[in-house]
Amino acid sequence: MEKFHQSPNIYVGEVNIKVKNLDYSLNFYQNIIGFQVLEKTERKAVLTTDGKTPLLTLEQPANVIPKEGRTSGLYHFAILLPSRADLSVFLRHLLQTGYPLGAADHYVSEALYLNDPDGNGIEVYRDRPSSEWTWNNGLVSMATEELDGQGILAESDAEWKGLPAGTLMGHIHLHVGDLQKAEEFYTKGLGFKVVSYYPQAAFLSTGGYHHHIAINTWQGVGVEAPPKNSVGLNWYTLVFPDEYTREHTINQLRHLGVQITKEADYYVTSDPSGNQIRLVI
């Protein structure tokens, strides 16, 4: 795998989502997606693929309510597999389970899409080598084409054993209420670069990746953040290479008038649409 998810880049490390029923969701995330449980309490489960790094955390809030339509929040989080062969094994497993899925070829990647039992969106994908991506004037070519499912299935006949250890949180795609404000926050505040535009959407990255973060107004311009106890995104982390880079970024955010609070060994902020972010090292 290429080095888009390590220093000196800033990238998404872990995603924390809210679910209605923890045990029901765990069954899905273990048996359909293939995570392992790192730690579990009555209302929370931390999931991993390598037995040590948290990638996804599920929480069941008190008085949890179902996902509401037309709010800001999670469109999908995206699980990046190490290879096309891994995607082959995963696709065959999904077809065998009969779980509903969508699929697309995005030029830069090949992707499968599904929803968890609560309607939280998930993408599982593999990247094409970056040498095969096409750039024009600082923007990378991406599209939504038909996936070569047969070609992917032909890559491997290995048995499915869950997500491989080298799996990463590849990117996160968010619904926002105001594209321009969100774009300013992620570029002038957090230091990401816009690398692709799509109708009512922007894709942003560091280090020349096709995107670590995507934002869209597909739920409608001006949508509000969902209630705190609603199913959906709780927070996600952005991993910084060092303290200096994080401090510099915090100063940029404060300069924009963004509110930031320090917690244990991380800082918490939210984008203009209320999507909460933890800045970690």
Give the pLDDT confidence of 171-213 residue by residue, as tens digits. Answer: 999 999 999 999 999 999 999 999 999 999 999 999 999 999 9
CB 192 within 8 A of CB 252: no
* Mean pLDDT (the chain, rounded): 97
pLDDT at residue 1 is higher than 80: no
For the chain, what percent of residues have pLDDT higher than 70? 100
Do 32 and 94 touch, CB atoms closer than 8 A? yes
Question: What whole-number percentage of the chain has pLDDT above 90?
Answer: 99
Q: Is the pTM of this model over 0.75?
A: yes
> Could you tell me which residues are beta bridge partners of residue 269?
277
Cα–Cα distance for residue pair 111/109, rounded to 1 Å? 6
Is 3-280 a CATH 1.10.1130.10 domain?
no
**What's the pLDDT at 206?**
98
**pLDDT given at position 174:** 98
- Residue 189 has a pLDDT of 98
pLDDT at 69: 87
The average pLDDT across 251-255 equals 97
Burial string for 73-105 (b: 16+ CB within 10 Å, else e) reads bbbbbbbbbbeebbbbbbbbbbeeeeeebebbb
Q: What is the pLDDT of residues 22-80, one digit of tens each?
A: 999 999 999 999 999 999 999 999 999 999 999 999 999 999 999 988 999 999 999 99
Distance CA 76, CA 57 (A): 14
Domain spans, the chain: 3-280
- Over range 225-250, report the average pLDDT: 97
SS3 content of the chain, % helix, strand, coil (to 5): 20, 35, 45
What integer pLDDT is reported at residue 8 of this predicted model? Answer: 97
Q: What is the pLDDT of residues 109-161, one digit of tens each?
A: 999 999 999 999 999 999 999 999 999 999 999 999 999 999 999 999 999 99
